[in-house]
Structure 1
């Protein structure tokens, strides 16, 4: 039996140059067919929902180079609606949040962020923090694909390898490839205008493309 591979969408308001390293890493995972970069525009929710329907797994990406970690539940948060929508379409197990370029990527900082922004743990299966120091620890000559294949049988020797290994395991979980079956309507408030999204049609389109 051939295991279905994921088409992963990286959803973000940040430029692709910030997360190119992540895209290349994900593309090397055995359970990944392809990686799509999806820029989230203001007031273009229909376009966003169409991009969501093309993917089977979601990563919400945010870089601290913006100056703040404001994913959700805080003043001027950037992704409250989008994160909940990703959860609604994919289910919690197929949504991850990545916060990049942080000074402190420790477990304590992760716990602090999840406490202050609880919707992350409500709508996503895990949160990953990456620092510049961690990314710089990867050798410039480091080849991602051999590591992605090799990691399954070895223990990570660095912090970033451990995190990427955890991410790989979450993505390749067998039950993650089961198409969503829940069909319902949700009303979202986008810039003060209620937009009714018919999830039945989106899920049907998503199922046909899988």
Structure 2
């Protein structure tokens, strides 16, 4: 992601918004201001329209699940809750634009995160899996009905928990910053059918017209126009160039095959040999005229001398 590009963050969950109010408030703080443009809470239910609408408006997705529901059954396990949703998010936004956040866990360690990642194969759909414990949230003031992120641990005893949480938040921020910002989300319109729940996903069109009339070309059309060695001239023009000459830098044809600096009409060319020959002939004629003049002058002088003598 470059410069001033920020993401529309969709938080997809089967839990109510009150469960992750702390996350919404956190994403609105100055810590995430440079990478987050808008936050979209999206409730995942059997209503496919709400999911596809949320997907069409998001450029980055956080799948939120709390342990208070009982089990961390996200995907690829018995009674998993987000199999199809994760697949759709990964397919349409890209794996690097999807994060799974598991809240209220007893063990938020990296080893527990890796265990869940491997058991449920979540790395097939998401670039990061983040575990947040209740103690970590409490250390930063993110618990309760009015969570507000604290810039320091609320107590000295929670210093380690706070450091752990802060490291995970930096990981989330860096993941959002590095996620590609593309038009993939816009190509998945709200009228499309979701593939989850046994419904078929409508194909993504290669070109989509926005409300302003701008057309987004797909990657294949761009690649075809930029393929290596491609020549966008017509066949007739290529034949003309090969038979009569080359193209000058400004686009006009030069029948002689040389570059025409003016870009308009061909410049007449002078043969260097003929030019040199002409100069030599002119010099020779000049010498002959001088010699002839001297001879005439001598004859005149001689006639005058003879006339005086006689």
Q: For the superposition of Structure 1 and Structure 2, which TM-score range results when normalised by the shorter chain?
A: 0.7 to 0.9
Q: Which has the higher contact order (CA 8 A, sep 6+)?
A: 1
Give, in whole Å, the separation in 1 of the partners of 2:99 and 2:129: 6
> Of 195, 200, 210, which aligns to 1:188?
195
CA 1:138–1:203: 2 relative to 1, 3 Å:
farther
Structure 2, unaligned stretches of length 5 or more? 153-160, 215-310
Q: Which residue of 2 aligns with 1:4?
A: 5
Contact 2:48/2:194 (CA < 8 Å) preserved in 1?
Answer: no
Q: Which residue of 2 aligns with 1:62?
A: 65
Q: TM-score, normalised by structure 1?
A: 0.80
Give, in whole Å, the separation in 2 of the partners of 1:203 and 1:98: 32
Q: TM-score, normalised by structure 2?
A: 0.56
Contact 1:186/1:199 (CA < 8 Å) preserved in 2?
Answer: no
Larger Rg: 2
CA 1:108–1:179: 2 relative to 1, 3 Å:
same
Q: Does 1:27 align with 2:41?
A: no
Matches within 5 A, 1:1-210: 2-28=3-29, 29=32, 30-42=34-46, 44-118=47-121, 120-139=122-141, 144=149, 158-173=163-178, 176-180=180-184, 188=195, 190=197, 193-200=198-205
SS of structure 1 residue aligned to 2:25: helix
Superposition deviation, residue 176 in structure 1:
1.8
Give, in whole Å, the separation in 2 of the partners of 1:166 and 1:187: 30
Give, in whole Å, the separation in 2 of the partners of 1:16 and 1:112: 28
Give, in whole Å, the separation in 2 of the partners of 1:80 and 1:164: 25
Q: Pairwise CA RMSD of aligned residues?
A: 3.1
CA 1:161–1:66: 2 relative to 1, 3 Å:
same
Q: Where is the strand percentage greater, Structure 1 or Structure 2?
A: 1
